[in-house]
Amino acid sequence: MPIQGWELSGSDSNSNPRIVVAPFKGEPKEYQASGPFDFESCKRWLDKNELSELDVHSSADKNRHLRNVAQVVDEIKAKDLRKVVIARREVLEIDINPLTVFEQLCDSYPDAVVHAHRSKDSFWMGATPETLLTTDEHAVYTMALAGTRKPDGPEFSLKEVDEQAAVTESIRETLLNLGAGKVGCRGPEAIQAGPVEHLITRIESSKPSTGNPQDWAAALHPTPAVCGMPRGEALGIIDEVEGFNRSLYAGYFGWVSDENSGFYVNLRCMQVGQKRVALYAGGGITAKSDPESEWDETVNKLHTLKAVISSDKTSE
Ligand SMILES: C=C(O[C@H]1C=CC=C(C(=O)O)[C@@H]1O)C(=O)O
């Protein structure tokens, strides 16, 4: 897929396509989009001019994350919940060149959806392995992506199989509730995403009988891949323990045209400041979670971005 850029403006129009950006919590925003511009023309947007500095506060050092996970395991057991996704935010004091980092992300992760989203006061970029929803004239396509291992580490255990199955069940149920006549699931199988592997079930359904792609994406979000099951209880626990605002992390972004659409979950992402970046990663916690392994999982996921940042020669 070639790199394309779109310039976003007000929301009160019917441009084709329209761009959608949704935070983890809160309403998606829909923009009028002009473009596409080729990569050469978009390069001018990938700078840090007038960008405000990021809050230095990191959400959880190792000890706090271990305590958070242990507390969440206890709550999951006490309340008999299926899973809760707990994330952390890590701030690095580093003056990156966003353009070279973006190019590195594109080169390093050809199977990911690499994106950069620059607004007046915030700048996000990432390389996500997770599709929330795509549509064409025939059907809707999505995926249940969860469970993480290092390719040279232990095989997926029952814990990962169950946390991924929860995502498949929830997506299937949401699509059926939206009025999709038939939902087909293929998987789970292992898929590589940069330095880690996940379990994936590919899901295809007929088009829901009501609503439009924006409604279907909004109904699916947040799936148990980024939130938990049941959703309401998981949201409460996330608020209680994480200690930071997820903002666009684990939200979604995408586009919708008159013919088709594509929405992607904002994972393996970072927020860019003047001399800092904030990296985000989370993992699905279940009653079987071991806090040390959950910490390692976030470290491995963050390596997706750290590998690229550290090869940005301008930041040395
Ligand atoms: C929440 C994240 O990953 C999700 C996607 C794949 C595997 C996941 C996991 O193993 O927990 C998460 O559900 C993240 O990367 O921050």
CATH number of the domain enclosing 198? 3.60.120.10
Beta strands in the chain (DSSP E): 5-9, 18-22, 29-37, 83-93, 113-118, 123-128, 131-135, 139-149, 183-193, 196-206, 228-229, 252-256, 261-265, 269-272, 276-285
User: What residue type is 13 in one-letter code?
Assistant: S
Ligand 1 centroid vs 79 CA: distance in angstroms? 22
Could you count the other beta carbons within 10 Å of the beta carbon of residue 274? Answer: 12
Supply the pLDDT for residue 12: 62
Q: Which residue has the tokens 């271990």?
A: 66
Ligand 1 centroid vs 282 CA: distance in angstroms? 6
**Count of CA atoms in the C-beta half-sphere (13 A) of 244:** 27
Return the residue whose CA atom lies nearest to atom 10 of ligand 1.
Answer: 147
Peptide bond before residue 17 is cis, with ω within 30 degrees of 0 = yes
Ligand 1 atom nearest the C-alpha of 297 is 10
The pTM (predicted TM-score) of the whole model is: 0.96
Nearest 5°: phi and psi at 145? -120, 120
pLDDT tens per residue across all 316 residues of the chain: 788 899 888 866 678 889 999 999 999 999 998 888 999 999 999 999 999 999 988 787 999 999 999 999 999 999 999 999 999 999 999 999 999 999 999 999 999 999 999 998 899 999 999 999 999 999 999 999 999 999 999 999 999 999 999 999 999 999 999 999 899 999 999 999 999 999 999 999 999 999 999 999 999 999 999 999 999 999 999 999 999 999 999 999 999 998 999 999 999 999 999 999 999 999 999 999 999 999 999 999 999 999 999 876 554 4
284 lines ligand 1 (CB under 6 A): yes
Supply the pLDDT for residue 56: 87
Residue 186 CA to residue 200 CA, distance in Å, equals: 9
Residue 277 CA to residue 111 CA, distance in Å, equals: 24
* Strand order from edge to edge, sheet including 83-93: 113-118, 123-128, 269-272, 276-285, 83-93, 228-229
Supply the pLDDT for residue 312: 65
**Exposure b/e, 219-244, CB count within 10 A at least 16 = b:** ebbbbbbbbbbbeebbbebbeebbeb
Supply the pLDDT for residue 13: 64
Residue 251 CA to residue 248 CA, distance in Å, equals: 5
CB 8 within 8 A of CB 33: yes
Closest by CA position to 154, among listed 296, 267, 299 = 296
Supply the pLDDT for residue 247: 96
Count of structural domains within the chain:
1
281 lines ligand 1 (CB under 6 A): yes
Residue 84 CA to residue 167 CA, distance in Å, equals: 11
Structure-token pair, residue 82: 């299926």
Supply the pLDDT for residue 58: 79
Ligand 1 centroid vs 208 CA: distance in angstroms? 27
Residue 253 CA to residue 268 CA, distance in Å, equals: 13
Return the residue whose CA atom lies nearest to atom 6 of ligand 1.
Answer: 146
User: What residue type is 36 in one-letter code?
Assistant: P
Domain holding 95, by residue range, is: 5-315
